[in-house]
Structure 1
Amino acid sequence: MLAKRTFAIPFAAAVVGTAMIVGLGPFLGHAETSSGSSLKAASDFGSITDTAQRSKAIFVEASRVLTHPRCINCHPATRSPTQGEDMHPHVPLMIASDSSLGPAGLVCSTCHGEENRPIVGSRLKSIPGNAHWSLAPASMAWQGLTVGEICRQVKDPALNGDRSHADLVRHMGEDHLVGWAWHPGEGRSAPPGSQEELAALISAWVGTGAECPD
């Protein structure tokens, strides 16, 4: 997934804006949990005899992860990340620089550390963190796209960071920031399945021709 990640809440705002944070309805969290569902395995699509149709069906299953809030929040339609289960605009507003690391003078790492950080006594349960926290490149904006459009974007080297099909499998299966989605910290749901299951689906999708849904 290329992932899904929210942006920094400035330290000053966190200190002086406690009352504001407590009152933020969209931040109301559930305990850290999975979505309560698993991903189908590639073998579950074996009854689809047409290889191209099987490939499309496999990607649709993988898209259950790619379109989950943990991923889609940091693949926004604009250069402003979203956050929460409802994918509301980041509070406070953040507009990414060309580097995808946050606005000048207030990079993501200002508040997003290398690990999730719990917040005691706040309705915002934790601030997510990862050593590589960043917004997805503008070329990988997913919000508002259909699954087919996301698919075509994901496999296009001109848009996906010059990744080959093999690179995509490794990225989905090994990238630490992608893996964060299944360990998002208290107050956030995780996508279905696991990183390993997602990588297996992407591998099967590639192996069947990397066909995209209409």
Structure 2
Amino acid sequence: MTVAALLAQFTAGGTAAAQEVNGLKTVEAFEGIAPEEARSAAIFGEMAKVITHPRCMNCHPVNSGPLQGDERKPHSPPVPRTEDNFGVVAMRCTTCHGEENRPFLGESGSVPGNGHWQLAPASMGWVGTTVPEICAQLKDPERNGGRTMTEVAHHMGHDSLVGWAWTPGEGRTPAPGTWEAFAELAENWIETGAACPG
């Protein structure tokens, strides 16, 4: 049985009300799923709502430079990927992206900002990959920035660049749920074995 079928069976069975916040199920929604591996995979499937959202995908391209907007269009002006992921000379990410979001002058919208705005390394590119492939990538230290699973959870729950996805500024749709709910899902995914959806 697939993870989706298990989740549908669980939520339809009425054994517990699925809890949700802003379109993202909370950890409590998965408590009745057994075995633990199926629960873990179902939790990652829910996390994927955030991971595959434009707020995350725009900074996780595979080969090209960053994307922007809810439409995930190529960054304007074009910004090529560099080895350090901070942009080329005279066109560093921080040239336009400051410590916080800044409103456009004279029109609606904003320039996104964070204290360490940057493109994810190419090894952490997700655009064009499947949810199971992203899951496997997050577990692989050679492709996740050398992180342990504890560090992956810490990144998802404490890195302000990840947290920015829920306060992206005018003109951008926030990621589903809340940062706290996503962080709790990530911790529980790892605690239950960090299984990947099939």
- Superposition TM-score tier, normalisation by shorter sequence: 0.7 to 0.9
Q: Which region of structure 1 is more displaced relative to structure 2, 143-152 or 99-108?
A: 99-108
Displacement of 1:116: 0.6
2:130 corresponds to which of 134, 146, 157: 146
2:165 is the counterpart of 1:181: yes
What is the CA deviation profile of residues 177-211 of structure 1, one whole-angstrom value per residue up to 9, with x for unaligned ones?
A: 11111111111010111111111101111111101
2:190 is the counterpart of 1:199: no
Structure 1 regions of 5+ residues with no counterpart? 1-35
What is the CA deviation profile of residues 91-146 of structure 1, one whole-angstrom value per residue up to 9, with x for unaligned ones?
A: 111102100001233101011111111013225x1111111000001000000111
2:62 is the counterpart of 1:49: no
Displacement of 1:167: 0.8
- Work out the CA distance in 1 between the residues paired with 2:196 and 2:113: 32
- Work out the CA distance in 1 between the residues paired with 2:99 and 2:64: 22
Q: What is residue 82 of structure 1 aligned with on the other side?
A: 67
- Work out the CA distance in 2 between the residues paired with 1:56 and 1:194: 20
Q: What is residue 28 of structure 1 aligned with on the other side?
A: none
Structure 1 residue matching 2:83: 3-state secondary structure: coil
- Work out the CA distance in 1 between the residues paired with 2:22 and 2:130: 22
Mapping 1:163-174, distance limit 5 Å: 163-174=147-158
Counting matched residue pairs gives 178
Mapping 1:63-142, distance limit 5 Å: 63-123=48-108, 125-142=109-126
- Work out the CA distance in 2 between the residues paired with 1:60 and 1:104: 39
Q: What is residue 212 of structure 1 aligned with on the other side?
A: 196
Identity over the aligned pairs, expressed in percent? 51
Aligned-CA RMSD value: 1.3
Q: What is residue 17 of structure 1 aligned with on the other side?
A: none
TM-score scaled by structure 1?
0.80
What is the CA deviation profile of residues 29-66 of structure 1, one whole-angstrom value per residue up to 9, with x for unaligned ones?
A: xxxxxxx8232122211222111111110001011111
- Work out the CA distance in 2 between the residues paired with 1:176 and 1:45: 27
| Matched AA of 1:89 | P
- Work out the CA distance in 1 between the residues paired with 2:95 and 2:52: 27
Structure 2 regions of 5+ residues with no counterpart? 1-20
